[in-house]
């Protein structure tokens, strides 16, 4: 079946998902959507998307289904629950989970799908709300290469750096590496900016100066300015970042790895969450230092 004729389902219309689904829709794919809160699908519905009342209804109508939800337990329910995708899926369908979830769960879903002739890919993303809105996400994919190549044209509606990482679970392992890098970097960005402020410098000028040098990073350039104007709206929720760090630390423990930077970042973010910041963006880490 050609990509032009494929009916696409999208489950999870949060900070990232709504923008990602809109890009698929804008490329002419018939779109079937589901979210716990129908209100978040309003704009897509106004543009022609078909609302479905359950994941089961999505899978009954779509050839390809993308999911991006909150936690691994949500993923497992959506795929293997009574109304789940694999539970109600049919041979030849493609299911792509873009949630940052556990590599072991990704392998489990792949194996369960294979029993029914369903192609399951794990394809977590990086780039935050900005990358999602601008269709510039990095997408890291695990699963069968043939399935990846078949879905690649749809992936390219959402991202500019779409990379096949290898077997099932490897997309999630790559995302863990991504989150590990971000965790310590966010501490560095927060500490650099709070240092500049305490030293009496023009923190905005400092940011403009150092972001083009060796210290440059996405977190510094995109989230640093938000820190300075105290904009803590979520491009990525603290509660979800804590979830990711826990997964990464669990996987590292299985490998016999000690990751002190990641452990410290998790501790700092958990402190913020305990003080009511779990629904703030990750840039709210600077509040710990303030």
Looking at the fold, whether 15 and 127 belong to one and the same domain comes out as yes
> pLDDT tens digits, residue range 121-156?
999 999 888 899 999 999 999 999 999 999 999 999
Judged on CB neighbours under 10 Å (0-12, 13-18, 19+), 174 is buried
Looking at the fold, whether 250 and 217 belong to one and the same domain comes out as yes
In angstroms, rounded to a whole number, what is the distance separating the alpha carbons of residues 121 and 107? 9
- Secondary element (H or E) of residue 264: helix 260-272
List, in order, residues 6 or more apart from 36 with CB less than 8 Å away: none
Looking at the fold, whether 159 and 192 belong to one and the same domain comes out as no
Looking at the fold, whether 177 and 161 belong to one and the same domain comes out as no
- The residue from 168, 201, 235 where one domain ends is 168
For residue 23, the domain's CATH number is 3.40.50.720
| 175 assigned to active site | yes
Looking at the fold, whether 131 and 181 belong to one and the same domain comes out as no
> pLDDT tens digits, residue range 168-193?
999 999 999 999 999 999 999 999 99
Domain count, the chain: 2
Looking at the fold, whether 183 and 277 belong to one and the same domain comes out as yes
Q: 251 is in which domain, residue-wise?
A: 173-289
Judged on CB neighbours under 10 Å (0-12, 13-18, 19+), 200 is exposed
DSSP state, residue 144: -
Looking at the fold, whether 110 and 252 belong to one and the same domain comes out as no
pLDDT of residue 205: 98
Looking at the fold, whether 157 and 178 belong to one and the same domain comes out as no
List, in order, residues 6 or more apart from 88 with CB less than 8 Å away: 55, 56, 59, 60
- The residue from 113, 134, 168 where one domain ends is 168
Rounded to two decimals, what is the model's pTM?
Answer: 0.92
Looking at the fold, whether 162 and 178 belong to one and the same domain comes out as no
For residue 274, the domain's CATH number is 1.10.1040.10
| Under 8 Å between Cβ of 171 and 140 | yes
pLDDT of residue 78: 97
Q: Give me the catalytic one of 56, 133, 175, 266.
A: 175
């Amino acid at each position: 079946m050609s990509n032009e004729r494929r009916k696409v389902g999208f489950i999870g219309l949060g900070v990232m998902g709504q923008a990602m689904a809109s890009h698929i829709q804008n490329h002419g794919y018939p779109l079937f959507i589901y979210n716990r809160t129908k209100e978040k699908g309003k704009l897509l519905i106004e543009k022609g998307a078909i609302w479905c009342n359950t994941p089961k209804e999505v899978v009954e109508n779509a050839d390809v289904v993308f999911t991006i939800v909150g936690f691994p337990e949500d993923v497992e329910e959506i795929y293997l629950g009574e109304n789940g995708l694999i539970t109600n899926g049919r041979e030849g369908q493609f299911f792509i989970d873009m949630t940052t979830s556990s590599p072991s769960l990704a392998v489990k879903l792949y194996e369960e799908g294979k029993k029914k002739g369903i192609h399951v890919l794990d394809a977590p993303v990086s780039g935050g709300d900005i990358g999602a809105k601008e269709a510039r996400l990095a997408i890291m994919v695990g699963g069968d290469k043939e399935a990846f190549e078949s879905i690649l044209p749809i992936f390219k509606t959402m991202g500019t750096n779409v990379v096949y990482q290898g077997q099932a679970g490897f997309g999630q392992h790559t995302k863990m590496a991504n989150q590990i890098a971000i965790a310590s970097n966010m501490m560095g960005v927060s500490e650099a900016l709070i240092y500049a402020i305490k030293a009496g410098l023009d923190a905005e000028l400092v940011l403009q100066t150092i972001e083009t040098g060796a210290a440059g990073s996405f977190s510094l350039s995109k989230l640093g300015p938000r820190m300075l104007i105290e904009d803590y709206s979520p491009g990525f929720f603290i509660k979800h970042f804590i979830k990711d760090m826990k997964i990464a630390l669990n996987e590292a423990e299985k490998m016999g790895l000690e990751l002190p930077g990641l452990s410290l970042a998790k501790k700092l973010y958990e402190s913020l969450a305990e003080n009511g910041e779990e629904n703030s963006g990750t840039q709210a880490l600077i509040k710990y230092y303030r």
